[in-house]
Structures are given as structure tokens and as C-alpha cells.
């Protein structure tokens, strides 16, 4: 008898779960207990579900919900080299290359802005203290104390600038109906990286030569500001020339005001300490008017300073109120420098106790703040009067100490 063997070899030797299509060809029923997932199925499944896996955030931009951790991971998707490049080219305007296109566009990140802001905060705090220490060490009688509150003030102003100004610019661009869409994230990135230049500059600001400081204060915002403006320019090009130039000028001015504010507040000699802090908006009015609003009140307050300073100092600090603290007169500083009153005020300082020169200025500031509780985007009284009243302030200070 001929034994005819049907060819069962294929089905028998195949693994149980493979190729479900084969099962149908033979009369044997083969039970498939497991179905392997193919690679394609997995990806499709993920995409459909929109779940963000940490490994592949880029394909799931619309996916992760705001409340998951993965949503924030997409903002940190950078390599070390990329961050280095972005920092470098934010300082140096490369002609013919759009900073945005080349360096930011594929994946804007928040790593740079955040850590640059934090670094800058502590850099200015530390180097500011160092600068005042070096300036003070030339005079034997001045006992230097470091000031931690510089750090807190620096933090508020830097973070306000780096996060609110891009928001404002984005809002303005959106309102004007800009066609070349820059997203808020890209603006935040650009602004964050543009602050990077101030870190080495703040180290250089320790050098006590005023002309050198002023050179830096001009060069640094020009360089990084130019990168900023060149980046934003394409989105403004559809607008009328005047508006576009106006917005560009405002951006540059804000940047320059920040630099000036740093230099004047953190790096001025201790006896001539002034606060020229910055409002994120309306820099023009702010700049013109910072000397003025509180100066008229300064002279009568000066004698009362000593007693109240201690009590007021802490709440004042706690408010971290940069805007209302926008006084003690850069005017004072400039007058001093011009008329070489630094020497007289240093004699004032010697007669005074340790920190009272600062306290005097502090007291002026703290006194004026309670009288103007809402931080003023100041109504600008005339600047020239500031100079004369400033002179009076100096006299009052001298009188109070003698």
C-alpha cells in the first residue's frame, strides 16, 4: 500500500503564532495562542493614542497633554553642542545667516533661557559684590559687607525681562498680524540666549575703570540686540516702515536699559549706589523719568533715614519691588560723577557707620515707596529739576551726618 504523506512539514515546524495566514491552508486546526506585535503596529498604536514616550517626543508634538511630564520634556530636547552654538551665535551677529533659521528653528528649547537667566542672576550678584569689595578695599575705613539682596533683586529683574518681554513682543507681533510666524517658544529661546553675553560682561565689569564699564555697557547690548532685531525683523517686514522700525527700536532700547541698569546698580562704587531698575515695558518714559518722581521727596526724608531704615528694609526687600525701586536716582550717580563729588561722599561715608551710605539711599527709597504704593510707571516730571534737587539731596545727606 502506498502511503501518501501529506506535507505537514510547514505547519508543524512553524512556531505557533507565526503567519496566521498559513493556518487556513491545511485541514489541521492550529490554535494560535499569541500574536506577535509587528513593529509598524506599535508605532501606529502610539501615534493614535497620542501618548508621549520620552524617547520620541518630536513626533508627538501635539500629543502629550499639558499636565504630563513629557510635555515639558519636549522643551529640553537639545544636545550640548547645540546649546553651545546657540549661545555663541547669539552674541555675534553673523551676516547673512539668520540666527533663528540656523540655530533655533528645528527645536527651540527652554534649557538655555532658564539656565542662562539663573547663571546671570548669580553672576551679577556675585560679581557685583566683588566689585564693591574691590572698590571699598582701597579705602581702609570702609568695612565691606556683602549684600545678598542683590541676588534677589537681580533674579526678579532678569526673569521679568526674559519672560515678560518676549510675551509682549509676541503679543505685539500677533496683534499686527505678522505673517512670518515666530512662535512664543522661539521668542523665549531667542531672548534667553541673548542674555548670555551679559555673563562674561558682568565678570568684566569688576574692573573699576568707568570708561571700560561704559564701553562694555554699549558694546554688549549692541551685539546681542542686533541679533535680536535681525531675528525679529522678518516678521515685521510686512508692516509699515515706521511701525517696524519703532518696534525694533523699542526692543533695542529695552535691551540697552537692562544693561545700563545692571551696570549702574550692581557695579557702581558703594557710596554712589543707585538703583536704576527696569520696567519690562515703557522703557522710554522710564528712562527719562527715573530721576524725577521721587527726588522731590528725597530731601525731607534724608534726616529721618537712620531710624527707619532697619524696620523698612526687610519688607522692602520682601516685596522685591524693582519698579518703585527705580530710583535713587541714576541722576544722583551721574551728578556725582560729573562733579567729582565722589570724594566728598566718601568722606561722608567715613563719618558714617558701616552701611549707612547705602542705608541712606535705601532709606530714601524705602521712604518714597510707601508714599507711592502702586509701583509707578512714572508720570514724568521734568528731568532738569532732578539735577538741582539732587544737589540738595547731597547737601542734606552731608548735613545729617556731620
Partner 1 sequence: MRDLRAVGTKFYHVLYPKEKKALLKEWDLWGPLILCTFIAMMVQGTQEVDKQDGGPEFAQVFVIVWLGAAVVTMNTKLLGGTISFFQSVCVLGYCLLPSCLSLILCRLILIAHQNRILFLLRFIVTCIGFAWATFAAMVFLGDSQPSSRKSLAVYPIFLFYFIISWLIISHSNV
Convert residues 81-100 into a mask of x (bound to partner 1 by CB under 8 A) and - (unbound).
Answer: x-x-----------------
State which of positions 51-70 bind partner 1 (CB under 8 A).
Answer: 54, 69
Three cell numbers, residue 144: 565691606
Distance CA 190, CA 170 (A): 12
Shortest reach from residue 118's CB to partner 1, in Å:
7
Instruction: Rule CB under 8 A: say whether 155 interacts with partner 1.
Output: no
Cβ burial 221-234 (10 Å sphere, 16+ → b, else e): bebbbbbbbbbbbe
Binds partner 1 (CB under 8 A): choice among 23, 30, 89, 122: 122
Alpha helix positions (H), 74-209: 80-91, 99, 111-137, 149-175, 184-194, 198-204
Binds partner 1 (CB under 8 A): choice among 16, 18, 97, 118: 118
Shortest reach from residue 288's CB to partner 1, in Å:
32
Instruction: Give yes or no for a contact between 193 and 185, defined as CB atoms under 8 angstroms apart.
Output: no
State which of positions 290-349 bind partner 1 (CB under 8 A).
Answer: 310
Residue in 292, 291, 287 with CA at minimum distance from that of residue 256: 287
Task: Identify the residue whose cell numbers are 521727596.
Answer: 297
Instruction: Give yes or no for a contact between 250 and 283, defined as CB atoms under 8 angstroms apart.
Output: yes
Residue nearer to partner 1 on the CB measure, 54 or 92:
54
Shortest reach from residue 144's CB to partner 1, in Å:
9
Shortest reach from residue 80's CB to partner 1, in Å:
5
Residue nearer to partner 1 on the CB measure, 132 or 368:
132
Angle between helices 356-371 and 342-351 in degrees, nearest 10: 100
Binds partner 1 (CB under 8 A): choice among 26, 51, 149, 308: 149
Number of residues in the chain: 402
Binds partner 1 (CB under 8 A): choice among 90, 129, 286, 393: 129
Q: Calculate the CA 359 to chain-centre distance.
A: 28
Residue nearer to partner 1 on the CB measure, 118 or 180:
118
Distance CA 247, CA 169 (A): 9
Shortest reach from residue 43's CB to partner 1, in Å:
20
What is the total count of residues that contact partner 1 (CB under 8 A)? 28
Instruction: Kindly indicate which of the ranges 77-85, 174-182, 200-208, 329-337 contains the residues binding partner 1, using the contact rule CB under 8 A.
Output: 77-85
Shortest reach from residue 126's CB to partner 1, in Å:
6
The full DSSP string for 78-114 is --HHHHHHHHHHHHS--TT--HIIIIITT---SHHHH
Shortest reach from residue 76's CB to partner 1, in Å:
4
Q: Which residues bind partner 1 (CB under 8 A)?
A: 54, 69, 72-73, 75-76, 78-81, 83, 111, 115, 118-119, 122, 126, 129, 145-149, 152, 310, 353-355
Amino acid at each position: 500500500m502506498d502511503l501518501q504523506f501529506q506535507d505537514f512539514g510547514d505547519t508543524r515546524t512553524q512556531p505557533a503564532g507565526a503567519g496566521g495566514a498559513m493556518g487556513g491552508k491545511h485541514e489541521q486546526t492550529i490554535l494560535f495562542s499569541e500574536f506577535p506585535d509587528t513593529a509598524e503596529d506599535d508605532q501606529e498604536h502610539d501615534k493614535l493614542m497620542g501618548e508621549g514616550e520620552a524617547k520620541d517626543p518630536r513626533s508627538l508634538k501635539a500629543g502629550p497633554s499639558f499636565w504630563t511630564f513629557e510635555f515639558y520634556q519636549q522643551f529640553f530636547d537639545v544636545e550640548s553642542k547645540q546649546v553651545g552654538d546657540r549661545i555663541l551665535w547669539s552674541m555675534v551677529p553673523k551676516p547673512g545667516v539668520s540666527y533663528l533659521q540656523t540655530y533655533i528653528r528645528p527645536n527651540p528649547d527652554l534649557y538655555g533661557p532658564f539656565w542662562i537667566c539663573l547663571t546671570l542672576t548669580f553672576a551679577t550678584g556675585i560679581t557685583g559684590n566683588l566689585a564693591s569689595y574691590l572698590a571699598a578695599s582701597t579705602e581702609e575705613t570702609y568695612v565691606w559687607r556683602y549684600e545678598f539682596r542683590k541676588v534677589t533683586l537681580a533674579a526678579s529683574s532678569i526673569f521679568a525681562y526674559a519672560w515678560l518681554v518676549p510675551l509682549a513682543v509676541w503679543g505685539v507681533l500677533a496683534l499686527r498680524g505678522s505673517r512670518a510666524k515666530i512662535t512664543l517658544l522661539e521668542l523665549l529661546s531667542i531672548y534667553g540666549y541673548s542674555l548670555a553675553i551679559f555673563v562674561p560682561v558682568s565678570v568684566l565689569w569688576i574692573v573699576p575703570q568707568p570708561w571700560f564699564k561704559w564701553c562694555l555697557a554699549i558694546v554688549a547690548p549692541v551685539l546681542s540686540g542686533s541679533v535680536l532685531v535681525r531675528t525679529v525683523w522678518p516678521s515685521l517686514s510686512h508692516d509699515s516702515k515706521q511701525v517696524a522700525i519703532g518696534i525694533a527700536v523699542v526692543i533695542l532700547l529695552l535691551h540697552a536699559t537692562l544693561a545700563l541698569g545692571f551696570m549702574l546698580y550692581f557695579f557702581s562704587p558703594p557710596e554712589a549706589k543707585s538703583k536704576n531698575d527696569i520696567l519690562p515695558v515703557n522703557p522710554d518714559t522710564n528712562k527719562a523719568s527715573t530721576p524725577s518722581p521721587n527726588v522731590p521727596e528725597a530731601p525731607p526724608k534724608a534726616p529721618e533715614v537712620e531710624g527707619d531704615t532697619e524696620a523698612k528694609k526687610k519688607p522692602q526687600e520682601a516685596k522685591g519691588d524693582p519698579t518703585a525701586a527705580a530710583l535713587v536716582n541714576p541722576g544722583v550717580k551721574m551728578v556725582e560723577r560729573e562733579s567729582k563729588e565722589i570724594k566728598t561722599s566718601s568722606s561722608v561715608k567715613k563719618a558714617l557707620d558701616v552701611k549707612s551710605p547705602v542705608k541712606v539711599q535705601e532709606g530714601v527709597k524705602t521712604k518714597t515707596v510707601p508714599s507711592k504704593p502702586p509701583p509707578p510707571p512714572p508720570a514724568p516730571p521734568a528731568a532738569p529739576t532732578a539735577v538741582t534737587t539732587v544737589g540738595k539731596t547731597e547737601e542734606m545727606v552731608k548735613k545729617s551726618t556731620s
